[in-house]
Chains A and B, each alone.
Chain A
């Protein structure tokens, strides 16, 4: 069973001395995440917001007990950074970096898989578990509150939009995972659905998809065939997207007849998953399904 946060996530920030690394190290510390180390090759001995900097993830693991990494390294160097985290035996690696070549992503996802390491992303806002006060990501934490709804999503700001609706409706969240907007990502909806199934705190699941690929269709089939035990509601972005045009996310492209919003909505609806027409309808759907 794959997990994103173990019982005691100790985070190393790769690329901690860059602007994004610094900014989000501070935000994660403020939220309550245990950020125990950072890395930037050649900058060992420095500190960022009181966090010691090392050259490699292996040093951060040995000296500070880091077991989870978050990567802010620019795309050209990110694959090497991820491989560094894999060889240092991190349990979870959150890859924030966008625009990583697909060939490199195929390679590091495969290597991580073979070692049982979870890759979140690339091109993800990360993951946040409000009840644990743990955030390994870049999301604005004020829209989240602790509760029992799990969110799994391919999009960042759309997740914040829906989380903020849920929070205002007093439907807090147990764990929110951005699987990433790239064509090649380490997690699929099904793996995260399994995590939610095993997590006692999660009582309902919100699945946020978008055009491109068939991940939502596969999730729908899984929900139906496995008789998924928890209520799932969904939102799919891109009903108005024409074929063949890439919509910002490298993964958001309809190829021929594959990847349309209609195909995803139909598959989910047939699997008994209600699909909201608008982000603002999600909270009410969750409430109905939870009968609260």
Chain B
């Protein structure tokens, strides 16, 4: 689950990291009040969960409280990249001297947390990595050993720009006191990010840019945190929010409430299946047959009729859906249960949209007979079923 920037910064502060002074405004009046209180030029940042917010006009500056009110009025209630702006983070404008990058995330291949640090902050880190992977220093963290301050500092010293600078000062035989302080401050940030990642079960904690301000302090100018959905039970302060996520579409939100694994896609062929891999393969097959999937829906293993009914009803009720393909490979999922769920959904919705069902495995005969009695054709392989649903869709349109 993605957290908003203001939530991420609250967590950073709890963990002792510096963030700009400021507050959250839901109205221009509140923005004016915060800006007055700060008494400095401010930055107003739309609290939305999509990347590329700055380029899309979601980050604006204002020199005083009055201007902040005007900027806020122009941002609140608008839509940026399809997301409604309800809240702004109003912060003091920082006097930034250098921009760094710091994050802790999970390295799937190494099966460890990994800390990343770079002297090229303030830009998309993927772009930095693409241009020169050497610009980023990384350290994979041994889970039984943790991540100490000295390891974190060692990581900072391995950032090429910093190590070159250090080497230069050694050669020139002068002790760079300021640089040492920087390495230590940057290291503290990284070590704190690891503590935070494990304490909050985060998949990603990222500070970009990590700003070195005129006073020499390191401040989190922007922050992103993504929590592990599967660990929300350990974090009751976020588990309620897990049900109404800002980045869900209305139909995805409904599916989440009904405990269905559903993702909205842009096509017109509804997809229902069991097992994530099989559902993706079914979507791919629809595309090979010249169609576009309207959704991803995995009913999981051993689903009862009720789950199939709920899922199919949700898919059928999407206006863009013109036809639905159900693809179930029985094992612990029983085909007769699937058939019962399909029939309940068809009766419940009274839909005229064409449907094709592919079923195989446990209780296949019983399920097939039930569906045929209800006038639904059952196919034994997914290739034929995909072909058939495309044909039925065309016929319906004609």
A: which residues have CB within 8 A of B? 23, 75-76, 99-103, 105-107, 109-111, 114, 138-140, 142-143, 153-161, 164, 181, 183-185, 188, 208, 210-211, 213-215, 218, 235, 237-242, 245-252, 256-257, 261, 277-280
Contacts and interface: CB of A to CB of B under 8 A. Distances in A.
B137 interface: no
Contacts of B188: none
B234 A101 contact: yes
B377 interface: no
A278 B130 CA distance: 32
Interface in B339-390: 360-362, 381-383
Interface residues of B, number: 53
Interface stretch (B79-87, B236-244, B270-278): B270-278
Contacts of A240: 265, 280, 283-284, 286-287, 292-293
Interface in B285-336: 285-288, 292-293, 296, 298, 301, 329-332
Interface string B95-113: 0000000000010110111
B228 A188 contact: no
Contact of B106 (A106, A218, A238): A106
Interface in B243-281: 261, 263, 265, 273-281
B108 A183 contact: yes
Contacts of B274: 157
A110 to B, nearest CB: 5
A214 B109 contact: yes
Question: DSSP majority for the A interface?
Answer: loop
Nearest to B106: A102
Contact of B230 (A109, A185, A237, A250): A250
Given A155-B278, A210-B277, A248-B298, A239 B383 contact: no
B360 A164 contact: yes
Question: DSSP majority for the B interface?
Answer: mixed
B109 A208 contact: no
Contacts of B201: 101-103
A154 B276 CA distance: 10
Contacts, number: 160
B132 interface: no
Contacts of A76: 233
Given A76-B233, A106-B143, A240-B293, A158 B360 contact: no
Contacts of A101: 201, 228, 230-231, 234
17 contacts: A75-B230, A100-B230, A102-B231, A110-B144, A140-B361, A155-B277, A156-B277, A157-B277, A157-B329, A161-B382, A210-B277, A237-B280, A240-B283, A241-B296, A245-B296, A280-B381, A280-B383
Contacts of A239: 284, 287
Interface in B162-212: 198, 201, 203
A213 B109 CA distance: 8
